[in-house]
Amino acid sequence: MKLYSRVQVIKLSIIVFIFAVFFTSMLFLACSKKSGIKTDNNISTAINDNENSFKTDLEENKTRLENILETNISSQPKSYDNDEADFSTYSQEEAQNIYVYEMCNEAVVNITTKVMNYNWFLEPYVQDGGSGSGSIIDKRGYILTNVHVIQGASEIYVSLFDGSQHKAEVVGTDLDSDLAVIKFEPPKNIVLKTIPFGKSEELKVGQRVIAIGNPFGLERTMTTGIVSGLGRPIQNSNQRIIRNMVQTDAAINPGNSGGPLLDTAGRMIGINTMIKSSSGSSAGVGFAVPSETAIRVVADLLEYGEVRRGVIEANIIQLNKRIAQYAGYDISQGVMISEVTENGNAEKAGLCGGTEAAYYGSRRDIIYLGGDVIIKIDDIDITSLADYYSALESKRPGDSVMVTVRRNKKNIQMQVILAE
């Protein structure tokens, strides 16, 4: 028997490995071409296009908002000057905190609501509702807050730094981001201060932040902390997943909702929205909607009264184990396409609805089984309706998304141009 040296064996192994990789690659490409499934190059191109589109959209949204508001959101406030600080009395950190508070606190309002209720005789009466915070973003009286602060209110009031109270009206709300814009008529003898937007997309974990709000009704309370995390997907009280939330350990309590999360230059880099806590009070885990989301949402609310998002023109149903078993699917998570709109973007892209009619839910609505199951949009896994709406939250009509569906026990990718 012929013996081979160790070097010869290694060389032979390398040649066999290279041949195997080449053969496997050619086979995969041939199969991909035959089945019409997108290759990794297509996916990478789509992801890069989405990143470039995000940067362009953010700048366009800033420009749109500046055109609507009297405040130039791109202009930066006067920077804190170490040389001007009096360190004989305060430390550098204390002096900076004082500087931000004095610059911004008068632009933070206390929001209280009244709700309509009915007595035993079905007679309507008004009673006290909830309370929260808000930031003045325009000298004409526009205020940014959370939807859940004003939701269900029949009357809304804002209290200014001087103690005066004014009735406000809703300009627009957006459940998907939990953001709302309200407006009041400012007194002629008061020049309102405003809070400029910062750049949440440039935040770093460990960066110092400041929260100002009205916890437990204690007006314009300031707390400090750091950015504890970035890009957090958190489900809100309206069962919507808000992505890219800013996590902070700055104390946030009931009443802080809707108030600003500020950087050390006094720019709003987030809107304080929720906390994780077993007691209902601050446990050092708070979350703020990032300013990049707020800029886009506020621009739409002021211009249209609503947020205009791109949609897939199809009737979507939450998939569960019972439906999956009955319809013969090999997966039980995702969203099922019951029907596609005739000549709509889903049909044009090749997405398929179901063909077998069945009753669904307590109202016994008719749905159609056997359609595609959406399991991914771009790089976001879709396991529920909350995931589905969250994946489309930042998309505009005309945007292109890569949709991955489960069909006949195979994953298929299709590019869909979103409709309005």
Which strand (E) or helix (H) includes residue 224?
strand 221-235
Rounded Cα–Cα distance for residues 65 and 302 (Å):
8
CB 242 within 8 A of CB 273: yes
Rounded Cα–Cα distance for residues 113 and 160 (Å):
15
Task: Specify whether 257 is catalytic.
Answer: yes
Smallest CA-to-CA distance from 317 within 341, 330, 334, 329 is with 334
Rounded Cα–Cα distance for residues 386 and 237 (Å):
12
**DSSP SS3 for 417:** strand
Active-site pick, 200, 257, 338, 394: 257
Active-site pick, 138, 174, 176, 178: 178
- 296-298-303-309 Cα dihedral, nearest 10 degrees: 50
Task: Specify whether 83 is catalytic.
Answer: no
Active-site pick, 133, 138, 148, 338: 148
CB 173 within 8 A of CB 134: no
Task: Specify whether 135 is catalytic.
Answer: no
Rounded Cα–Cα distance for residues 131 and 217 (Å):
7
How many other CB atoms are found less than 10 A from the CB of residue 327? 18
Q: Which residues are catalytic?
A: 148, 178, 257
